Structure 1
Amino acid sequence: MSSDYELKQQLQSSCHSLVDGIGTAYGYQPSLAAGIVFCVLFGLSMCLHTAQFVWKRTWWCAVFSVGCLTEVLGWAARTWSAECPYNMNAFMMQISTLIIAPTFFTAGIYVLLGRFIQILGRQSSILSPNLYLWIFCTCDIISLVVQAIGGGMASSETNKPNGNTDPGTYTMVGGIVFQLFSITIFVICALDFVRRTLRHQLLQSMTGTIVPLLGAMVLSVLCIYVRSIYRTIELSQGWSGYLITTERYFIALDGAMMIVAVGIFNIFHPGWLLPKEDKFGRELHSAEGMEDVRLQ
């Protein structure tokens, strides 16, 4: 038993190719091709977002670049794991970064919805623009802290003989369930925004249109929501569950969903499509001035 534990510790702290009969923390050997592809895709999106927000001076869009950078780090760790499948540093790096990354995308969406409300008028939303940012970003931060605590508890147990990872796993599940709950509430609020916009025919009174950008936001939210549901079920099954040990689901329901969620804003970038004035022709200045925009 002692020799098996020592062998496991040696494999986890070094770079060793897959050994028959000895499983990895993933339950499989991560795909090198997938790691490279997603590093390239998120890297390209990051470069484009950076150029776009600098060019158009939409500084708040920097959150998309930061989120892409976090995704690149996570997929780089999975690429590392493809060559060193037992290395726990690579495993924990990809777990932490790929859980955190979507939070930057949702923060950008919260700000974007606030800008839509600022443009269309206060009657388009049940909440004020600033409340969206404060409420939902706070919820994201709380969920991330809980997940980080759970991840730390679980990782410390994996390095012990017969360590019990259940308390850490349950804590992580609690954090991601709370995140799913907060995103669900946001989706309901966003649907109410769309309903109010259509009901009051607010888009018809504008010169130009924000429909493509509004559609991009809806698609991005749906992708993040699908990913959150997947992650909740995945972690609730535990570290040896079917979803977490089957890579194709991770690639399709995490990696692919996130590249669509952030890449769509490269095509329909707020810097290009957001009007500089509200529907009454008043100039929009900053997110801090949202509360000053009212229907007359």
Structure 2
Amino acid sequence: MGEFQLYKYTPTMAGAIIYGVTFIILLGYNIFIICQSLSKVNLHTGGLRSYNKKDESLLSLSQNQVSCFKKQILPMFIPMMIGILMEAVGYFARASSHGNKQLLTPYIIQSILLLIAPSFIAATIYMIFGRMMRHLNASDYSIIKFKYQTTFFVIGDVFSFFVQSAGGGMMSQSGNQDLGPKIVIAGLIIQLIFLFFFILSEIKFTYLINKIPTTASYGSTKTSTMGIFQRNWNNLNATLIITSILIVVRCIVRVVEFGQGFDGFIISHEAFIYLLDGLLMIMVSSLLICVRPESVMLELMNHE
């Protein structure tokens, strides 16, 4: 077994389990609120009207909008849930390495899953942004042609995912200690480039939607609900920017880590994987879940 397969420390079991359980809780809560929203939409489809004020976003949805929510909006969250699950499995694999840090299988699992999981979460961020712009009738505010925007970012994300996966797989093979990290770095740089363009697109959109608001961005003409509607989609937009920046920070740290090599400072100190990778991804996942993008999408559809 080559040196590249070994930890430079004994992985902590407690920390890995805490992080793994945290991601499982986040995944479970995300599934719960998605199912809750789907249940409300199904009640709406069935003609039931026993809603409280929090459910007003459902009252005027057409059948086409209900179908769009089920077939186009809810599936956007699948990549994020896969990414969160990967994070959980990755940290549980680290926990299993505590007793024997020379075991290759847990090392490969945690190394690859923790490396590529953010790509799945980023894919959901890209799709939410594209859908939000569509419902706000702000397609002219895109940095690239709007009909290609989501596809552009998602394809770039998928490409970086495959490059990182290939590099991560090569690092577990004897004789590829030098080539594997270089390929991983290339994949991370690709991800950073697309994140950079995404943040630029977000900045342009945010500037223009505030300077020249679209009619859809005002929402309902009722003053009692208009302010809430505007606050909700603005909070979602701000969350997309913040989470993108957090992923950028995480990617930069990983680029530096692999650039330093297997004897580098970052890879030799376990604190970095927790504080500048795992913790950042917990923050990203928590923010995306707490802002309730699926509920904001329902409000946007209701005010179209």
Which range, TM-score by smaller chain? 0.7 to 0.9
Distance 1:263 1:234 in 2: 25
CA apart distance, 1:40: 1.1
Measured against aligned partners, the alpha-carbon deviations of 1:196-238 in whole angstroms (never above 9, x if no partner) come to 1122134862332212222222221121111111111111111
Distance 2:102 2:15 in 1: 18
Distance 2:147 2:6 in 1: 42
Q: Secondary structure at the match of 1:83?
A: coil
Q: What 5-or-longer segments of structure 1 have no aligned partner?
A: 1-8, 13-21, 158-162, 283-296
Measured against aligned partners, the alpha-carbon deviations of 1:34-75 in whole angstroms (never above 9, x if no partner) come to 101111110001001111222213332222221111111101
Distance 2:141 2:238 in 1: 16
Which of these residues, 178, 190, 199, is aligned with residue 178 of structure 1? 190
Q: 2:136–2:300: 8 Å Cα contact kept in structure 1?
A: no
Higher helix share: 2
The reply to whether residue 205 of structure 1 matches residue 222 of structure 2 is: no
Counterpart of 1:95 in structure 2 is: 111
Measured against aligned partners, the alpha-carbon deviations of 1:170-210 in whole angstroms (never above 9, x if no partner) come to 12211211221221121111111111112213486233221
Which of these residues, 178, 191, 195, is aligned with residue 207 of structure 2? 195
Counterpart of 1:215 in structure 2 is: 238
CA apart distance, 1:128: 4.9
CA apart distance, 1:104: 1.4
**For residue 122 of structure 2, what is the amino acid of its counterpart?**
T
Measured against aligned partners, the alpha-carbon deviations of 1:247-282 in whole angstroms (never above 9, x if no partner) come to 111111100000010111221111222344459x43
Number of equivalent positions: 257
Alignment of 1:107-146 (within 5 A): 107-121=123-137, 122-146=139-163
CA apart distance, 1:150: 2.1
The reply to whether residue 32 of structure 1 matches residue 13 of structure 2 is: yes
Counterpart of 1:74 in structure 2 is: 90
The reply to whether residue 84 of structure 1 matches residue 107 of structure 2 is: no
Measured against aligned partners, the alpha-carbon deviations of 1:60-117 in whole angstroms (never above 9, x if no partner) come to 2222221111111101111111222111111111011111111111111111101221
> Normalised by the size of structure 2, how large is the TM-score?
0.78
Change (3 A) 1:118 1:144: same
Q: 2:79–2:124: 8 Å Cα contact kept in structure 1?
A: yes
Counterpart of 1:227 in structure 2 is: 250
Measured against aligned partners, the alpha-carbon deviations of 1:1-51 in whole angstroms (never above 9, x if no partner) come to xxxxxxxx5xx9xxxxxxxxx997221111112101111110001001111
Distance 2:281 2:110 in 1: 15
Counterpart of 1:255 in structure 2 is: 278
Q: CA RMSD in A?
A: 2.2
* Same amino acid, percent of matched pairs: 25
